[in-house]
Chain A
């Protein structure tokens, strides 16, 4: 499965990042670029539970392709979610079922964010994504 163009660019950016500090700054930049959710979308039904911060994830299947929106009140998790959406936005239902999301974060050098003790919520977001993908 080929990477979406924006995902390929993000991958290259992260793979050339030197050290934790640059990766953290990049995460914040990616998070800041995430389109804002309106208040109606920040509802309980869209809340992802199991995060230290508040995270909302909205997914629509339109003409056979997924369109996602997400936000968080914390910047780091917002960046992680932005990187997630870059990878999955526009995928077909079948493609979404097949995509290896932990491997995506591994390639980005962010696999530690998925360790079981992390309560930052990325695990919970991936789980919600799986549920949506069916």
Chain B
């Protein structure tokens, strides 16, 4: 059965990649961009760039208006309402580092930070380094056989010393929704702060940070069909009051003297220096585009494509999936075949998939694997993309076996 994507033509790079004989299936790493975003960037740069929140002149007013419109659109996208603020950072990694530095003052030696075994390095290393700076214990929640955070273990590991829980919503390697409601409930019962890494989750379906009930929610623009160099941090009002300023300079200051200064509250107080203005405006255009799509149709398309991918992999001998992927992606290894060799031959055939540790080295080590191949899908992919992948996979395996 053919699964065409009605949105494919909205992304001009897909046709360009096809002309270069490239099939793009590395969407969990970054996504192609809709024409609406390209138009917004061109419009901004062609009609007068200006810095935001500084100048009284007209170009500055226009840029600031567009910039703040994007902040409102991101708030709507996450249904933040009046519950908190949207802070723009230079990426999801920056947002998580902001949290790990800005919340550092809350921790006493012996306090515990809880993360899970499947975290991307961006949601592992900032907490690991904070734990080392402050003599904290970094507690790792184990996974069950399906690749979900093990709730039975979590009940015992999230305890009175837990000051913060930071977990992924959707694993970038295992492709499974994590049981956030239960985990956040356990953390809140201990009065711990909660951080959700939504870098993968935000791309699939719509999420409501008020319903989720987390203190902080982080994602990166470029994985959500937006420009790169831009991350988003949602913070609940009460939680933001505990966040100390981290990077200094630019319009984050309220009043500066040679020896001391006072700083703005969120969001501007956490946006030191000139922000990525064009990217923020571009993300607003992407969200307008996405908001105009039939979300149910997008979800159904992604589910059908994922099912097609899993069936195709299951039909081939010797393929072992990592975990039990539910959507968006599948990571796998092939018995007796080195993933570097497979990656080499897929690349030769114009298949853009990811091979390696996927920025989750400890997770790969726990599987006793040096690496795996990951196929990750976006709304513009179709079944022909997957057919080209399967043909290339068969050809590669025929050569390697």
| Contacts from A to B (Cβ < 8 Å) | 20-21, 24-25, 28, 51-54, 73-77, 119-121
Contacts and interface: CB of A to CB of B under 8 A. Distances in A.
B354 to A, nearest CB: 10
B373 to A, nearest CB: 11
A53 B399 contact: no
A33 B355 CA distance: 26
A74 B399 contact: no
A41 B320 CA distance: 32
Contact of B348 (A24, A28, A54, A73): A24
A73 B356 contact: no
Interface stretch (B38-46, B69-77, B333-341): B333-341
A53 B345 contact: no
B174 to A, nearest CB: 20
Given A28-B399, A73-B338, A52 B355 contact: yes
Contacts of B349: 20
A76 B340 contact: yes
Contact of A53 (B348, B370, B395, B400): B370
Interface residues of B, number: 16
B340 A52 contact: yes
Contacts of B63: none
A76 B355 CA distance: 14
Contacts of A74: 338, 340-341
A120 B340 contact: yes
A110 B104 CA distance: 49
Contacts of B355: 52
A59 B343 CA distance: 29
Contacts of A20: 348-349
Given A52-B343, A120-B340, 12 more contacts: A20-B349, A21-B348, A24-B344, A24-B345, A24-B399, A52-B340, A52-B371, A53-B340, A54-B370, A76-B340, A119-B356, A120-B344
B399 A25 contact: yes
A52 B343 CA distance: 10
A91 B316 CA distance: 47
Nearest to A27: B344
Interface in B334-385: 338-341, 343-345, 348-349, 355-356, 370-371
A86 to B, nearest CB: 20
Nearest to B357: A52
A119 to B, nearest CB: 6
Contacts of A75: 338, 341, 400
Contacts of B339: 52
A77 B370 CA distance: 15
Nearest to A25: B399
* 4 pairs of A and B residues whose beta carbons are closest in the complex: A74-B338, A74-B340, A20-B348, A76-B344
Contact of A77 (B340, B356, B395, B400): B340
B107 to A, nearest CB: 34
Contacts of A73: 338
A68 B338 CA distance: 24
A5 to B, nearest CB: 28
Contacts of A76: 340-341, 344-345
A21 B399 contact: yes
Contacts of B370: 52-54
A51 B370 CA distance: 11
A74 B371 CA distance: 12
A53 B341 CA distance: 9
A21 B343 CA distance: 14
A28 B341 CA distance: 10
Contacts of A77: 340
A54 B348 CA distance: 21
A14 to B, nearest CB: 14
A7 to B, nearest CB: 22
